[in-house]
Structure 1
């Protein structure tokens, strides 16, 4: 029986242990998609207690607490922070089989040196130990990033954001903290808030956006603003991927319907979304950017809780839409014009693993190794089997050796051990091929592949100077 979460956690063979300890463990972190605050990094804040940094904004934990039967007052409500932590400590021992159990204890070990299991019995001691360290300068936000050897962070930012803290960080911190261009609010023409968003964006660029050509002009201006600050990546959250060919005239009619809050049909949504994505895709290509597309969430399922708490609080799940033909048509439209940018595709539904693993192969063109990427297990799939299945599909149907690896997609400054979790799973998988006689026992070569997936491939792919 293996000891719980020892140094060889998840590493089932000597080969896996060697790949991890000799190659993966030392590699820095390149986190190309997260939801961290550039303001908090610039201000180098310290957290008052472990609840603030651990439970604030973590909808993974919130879902588990609700399932356990914890009252909402201890989750997103106004209960005292120690009482919230005590409730989380009640839940943790019952997380058997859930990645939250592993993440919780990896974070306690890596940041705080605590090897005890969090439970009601250890709750007070762990609370005091964590808070004592969090009160010291060594546990400021910047030092938490240094502790995990983070080199690059790409945050998630709206086109109308000022990016003032990214600019301030540019020459003030050795970790690259760069924005990602997230124009979802300009694409969701059917949303009630679309008209007000367009008005706000117009105020940022200094002119009224009365036509779709004005909107595209404004988005591309903001894209260049992001580029000047050092950004090289966009990010799109597309719950249902839709694409239909659309003329300038059709797009303008649909845009104006959105401004007037008129009813918009599914066909019109498909045309408009495809039109804006195509215009942006060409601009990404011209700037040498990477386009990330996250596909397949169904959000805010509980209207009651959405009206009470708002979005992104743990009431989202996996969608099951059919999107292969639309995605192919979109990529093909850009590719045909020679304007397809480097692209990372992520799925939330595991049934779509092979879909994306084969889709990227349609548009590899030899211009760059791994130009088209099947992104790592994301959101509900960033757990052990989700990552294993994504890697299996990619290695069977593509080249895992050119994979750009893991990201946190997190709002927490304590989430970076998820990279370690991924790396251990990666090393165990590749070691299994060697142990089974499916690949030569060439640890030097496989070790280089591991190092590439952990960091080097991303460094080359995003082309951000360190």
Structure 2
């Protein structure tokens, strides 16, 4: 049979469950992909001449799921071309290193994604290894050299209805507009972390770029807030429906205006301490929530409970997003209470729409599902980072479905930088969801009709609803 993917891939071996899962999956298999949160570079789709130079660029250098695991086994990132400019490494040698160690991905979600990418996109029929590495490289390169494998061609092939990128307020959104004019719906997402976290080494530089983008001098916290509001308007005009925020702690509470201005003045002088910086960030997040609830209606995503760039040596040498973001415990219940007391009750107007993501699985059933099962504006984001896996998805559905219900989840988002993995990630979510629902049909918890309805919601409609997307063409 070779290295292939069967029709019943990931389904239960029990015949009745397997057959039901296959029926449910086939009912959503052709639905368009909704990608409301991710990190694919917009330049791939804005430039009609953009190409993937070689297999190493496509499948290794942009995918920190891939290179973090290899790094954990002592393989230097330099050997994979990670963090190096083109011309400073040998793509074929990097590919050979990847194939030589491909067995490390056995049984992992990354291994499953790669299997789907290689077999479905490129017709690969053998598992990569040291012996076939060069032949596979040449096979994939030959495909990448054709018009059918440009980023724009793959966008259409994948059936992407809408793809959201993640962008700083100071970023140029003209590439998004260019892609949209050419028929590719790529929308920005407003992520102001770099301007709210004043102890970041690049904070002053980012502030300067925001000043340039808004043609104003920012000398106060009020000035920063006005500049951010101006950029939020620009992002929304370019199709944005959401903001995104990632911080170490669930601390979102307001200060007085005077306190905020005093702390911002300390930040400008470079004399603010870590506790004060955390207070200022908590206040700034509260203000961003206020803008979402009362001004522009942008959905607010929170990716919390992560120590970013845990490996300081790697961060100082190569920068951010090197696969070294490590989870830690947070208190969602107490941390979100000030925010939800201010904007969570519909009697105060339209409630703030929050999409919550965690890397602490213990909080799904204990805190997050009860919160989403009560507050009208709260939705639970899909399993993220380490838990975007077969077992992680199953644990998530088990933990939240009874207390929050699937209707209070945000469906699926792929949250990827690796463009070629988009359909693979959605397929695994849909297959695991189909199998999970099929088990409940066989136990009598759901009727088949109910399972079909929930399957469509999980595969497509919940993401559209949670992110308040207006689709150009209904699938």
CA displacement 1:180-221 (0-9 Å, x = unmatched): 000101211233432332232122212211111111111011
Distance 1:148 1:70 in 2: 32
Q: CA deviation at 1:404?
A: 3.0
Distance 1:74 1:325 in 2: 45
Distance 1:4 1:168 in 2: 38
The answer to whether the aligner puts 1:360 opposite 2:365 as a matched pair is no
Aligned match for 2:47, one of 15, 31, 43:
43
- For the 8 Å contact 2:306–2:359, the answer to whether it is kept is yes
Local SS of the residue matching 2:209: helix
Match in the other structure for 2:281: 273
What pairs with 1:92-107 in structure 2 (closer than 5 Å)?
A: 92-107=102-117
Match in the other structure for 1:386: 392
Aligned match for 1:445, one of 450, 454, 457:
450
Distance 2:169 2:47 in 1: 23
The answer to whether the aligner puts 1:350 opposite 2:361 as a matched pair is yes
Distance 1:3 1:228, change over 3 A: closer
Match in the other structure for 1:111: 121
Match in the other structure for 2:15: none
Aligned match for 2:441, one of 429, 434, 438:
434
Query: How many correspondences in the alignment?
Result: 455
What pairs with 1:279-298 in structure 2 (closer than 5 Å)?
A: 279-285=287-293, 286-298=295-307
Using the size of structure 1 for normalisation, the TM-score is 0.93
What pairs with 1:38-437 in structure 2 (closer than 5 Å)?
A: 38-44=42-48, 45-75=50-80, 76=82, 77=84, 78-173=88-183, 175-266=184-275, 268-285=276-293, 286-335=295-344, 338=349, 340-354=351-365, 355-364=367-376, 371-401=377-407, 403-416=409-422, 417-437=424-444
Local SS of the residue matching 1:315: coil
Q: CA deviation at 1:28?
A: 0.8
Distance 2:450 2:444 in 1: 15
- For the 8 Å contact 2:355–2:410, the answer to whether it is kept is no
Distance 1:340 1:375 in 2: 17
- For the 8 Å contact 2:412–2:459, the answer to whether it is kept is yes
Match in the other structure for 1:368: none
Distance 1:419 1:342 in 2: 24
Distance 1:351 1:274, change over 3 A: same
Q: Which moved more, 1:12-21 or 1:454-463?
A: 454-463
Root-mean-square deviation (Å): 2.0
Distance 1:211 1:94, change over 3 A: closer
- For the 8 Å contact 2:61–2:67, the answer to whether it is kept is no
- For the 8 Å contact 2:332–2:368, the answer to whether it is kept is no
Distance 1:432 1:43 in 2: 45
The answer to whether the aligner puts 1:25 opposite 2:34 as a matched pair is no
Local SS of the residue matching 2:163: strand
Q: CA deviation at 1:265?
A: 4.4
- Runs of 4+ with deviation above 4 angstroms: none
Distance 1:378 1:425 in 2: 15
Using the size of structure 2 for normalisation, the TM-score is 0.91
- For the 8 Å contact 1:243–1:270, the answer to whether it is kept is no
Q: Which moved more, 1:451-460 or 1:230-239?
A: 451-460
Q: CA deviation at 1:445?
A: 3.2
- For the 8 Å contact 1:195–1:258, the answer to whether it is kept is no
- For the 8 Å contact 2:369–2:380, the answer to whether it is kept is yes
Q: Which runs of 5+ in 2 are unaligned?
A: 13-17
Q: CA deviation at 1:166?
A: 0.8
Q: Which moved more, 1:41-50 or 1:212-221?
A: 41-50
Distance 2:142 2:124 in 1: 13
CA displacement 1:36-82 (0-9 Å, x = unmatched): 12122111312121111111222111112122332332122543101
Distance 1:4 1:437 in 2: 33
CA displacement 1:354-407 (0-9 Å, x = unmatched): 22111223311xxxxxx4210001111111222111111220211114533211
